[in-house]
């Protein structure tokens, strides 16, 4: 088998370890300390924010318009309507401001 093949296999194993590892560590404790539970509850907002925030550094008018519309629609609509609204504004705005 080629080197590429083994890189893919090793990368897949490394990835699976990250996906099961947190659970394996946490499940060793019988009681979850309230502070740990508070930390776990913060995970979605904390991690997902880091996937958006640095993008703001490079965002132009079209991107900002899309994000603002996404935020406004998300206050009322569901995930799908918010996503479609944001994407539509982005594509439209990029036709004008590139």
Site residues for other proteins, 18-37, by CB under 8 A, read 18-27, 31-37
Question: At its nearest, how many Å lie between other proteins and the CB of residue 81?
Answer: 9
Site residues for other proteins, 33-62, by CB under 8 A, read 33-57, 59
**17 binds other proteins, rule: CB under 8 A:** yes
Which listed residue (9, 30, 61, 65) binds other proteins by CB under 8 A? 9
CA 41 from centre of chain: 16
Q: How far apart are CA 72 and CA 65, in angstroms?
A: 11
Spatial contact of 85 and 71, defined as CB atoms under 8 Å apart:
no
């Amino acid at each position: 088998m080629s080197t590429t093949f083994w890189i893919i296999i090793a990368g897949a194993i490394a990835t699976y370890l990250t996906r099961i590892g947190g659970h394996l560590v946490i499940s060793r404790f019988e009681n979850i300390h309230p502070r740990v539970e508070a930390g776990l509850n913060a995970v979605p907002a904390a991690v997902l924010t880091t996937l958006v925030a640095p993008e703001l550094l490079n965002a132009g008018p079209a991107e900002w318009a899309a994000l603002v519309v996404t935020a406004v629609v998300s206050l009322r609509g569901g995930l799908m309507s918010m996503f479609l609204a944001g994407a539509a504004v982005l594509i439209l705005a990029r036709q004008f401001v590139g």
